[in-house]
């Protein structure tokens, strides 16, 4: 578990936050934790970078040479940081959200639906929707910062290639079984579950003009 300090949270806190008074930490005799405004700030920084990386033209993607630390020796590996970040953001969010929260995250943050569309689809009122959005932002903000060994935030450490000497995680019988299952699915031509990724863009609405053009064609 990561230790949070005021020197880190101060810059991320909302100046007029009623909970932390702009300090970013909520402290009492028994506990010390980052304020929710800080966690939401972290999520939004990560989300903005995710959108930037996902919307960027693919022909200007860059590869970078990074130092990878193995147990026995230092290795150099090629990486595509922006694509890795998009994948990490999506997969970490998928792992930490479920049910209704995952639906809201998918519709609102990945597909770009505004609160009206989401409320209509999920049959909830505006207040409940934003209550869920805030909870999602707070939960993911904390996860993005506390993720081990490589967190998604701070962004400069993620993209700057900060390296720590961690031993690779050994494969367990369960993970080996799962890998075999996935390979079998692929061999049979089935779509892997994690490949059903929705495109990141605002939902498109068909206009009357489009319909008229189609009929004319």
Nearer to Zn ion, 20 or 86 (CB): 20
Give whichever of 93 and 138 is closer to Zn ion, judged by the CB atom.
138
Q: Which two tokens stand for residue 6?
A: 């005021």
Rounded least distance, CB 37 to Zn ion, Å:
3
In terms of CB distance, is 35 or 42 closer to Zn ion? 35
Which residue is associated with the tokens 């993005």? 144
Beta bridge partner(s), residue 32: 27
Q: What residues between 3 and 22 interact with Zn ion by CB under 5 A?
A: 13, 17, 19-20
- Residue 35 binds Zn ion, judged by CB under 5 A: yes
Size of the site for Zn ion (CB under 5 A): 6
> In the structure encoding, which two tokens stand for residue 12, read together?
């991320």
Collapse the DSSP code of 169 into the 3-class scheme (helix H, G, I; strand E, B; otherwise coil) and give the result.
coil
Query: Least distance in Å: CB of 16 to Zn ion?
Result: 9
Angstrom distance (rounded) from CA 166 to CA 150? 10
Question: CA dist 74 to 70, 77, 81, Å?
Answer: 6, 10, 19
64 sits near Zn ion (criterion: CB under 5 A): no
Q: What's 68's DSSP letter?
A: E
Q: Name which position in 25, 37, 46, 151 contacts Zn ion (CB under 5 A).
A: 37
Nearest to 157 by CA among 78, 73, 49: 49
Closest to Zn ion by CB, 35 vs 151, is: 35
Q: Which residues bind Zn ion (CB under 5 A)?
A: 13, 17, 19-20, 35, 37
């Amino acid at each position: 578990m990561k230790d949070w300090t005021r020197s880190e949270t101060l810059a991320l806190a909302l100046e007029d936050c009623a909970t932390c008074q702009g300090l970013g930490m909520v402290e009492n005799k028994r506990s010390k934790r980052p304020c929710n405004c800080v966690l939401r700030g972290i999520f939004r920084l990560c989300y903005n970078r995710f959108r930037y990386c996902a919307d960027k033209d693919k022909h200007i993607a860059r590869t970078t040479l990074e130092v990878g630390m193995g147990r026995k020796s230092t290795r150099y590996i090629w990486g595509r940081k922006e694509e890795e970040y998009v994948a990490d953001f999506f997969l970490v969010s998928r792992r930490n959200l479920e049910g209704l929260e995952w639906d809201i995250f998918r519709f609102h943050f990945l597909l770009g639906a505004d609160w009206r569309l989401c409320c209509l689809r999920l049959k909830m009122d505006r207040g409940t929707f934003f209550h869920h959005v805030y909870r999602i932002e707070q939960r993911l903000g904390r996860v993005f910062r506390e993720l081990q060994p490589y967190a998604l935030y701070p962004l400069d450490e993620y993209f700057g290639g900060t390296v720590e000497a961690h031993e690779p995680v050994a494969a367990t019988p369960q993970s080996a079984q799962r890998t075999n299952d996935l390979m079998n699915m692929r061999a049979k031509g089935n779509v892997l579950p994690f490949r059903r990724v929705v495109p990141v863009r605002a939902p498109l609405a068909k206009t009357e003009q489009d319909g008229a053009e189609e009929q004319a064609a």
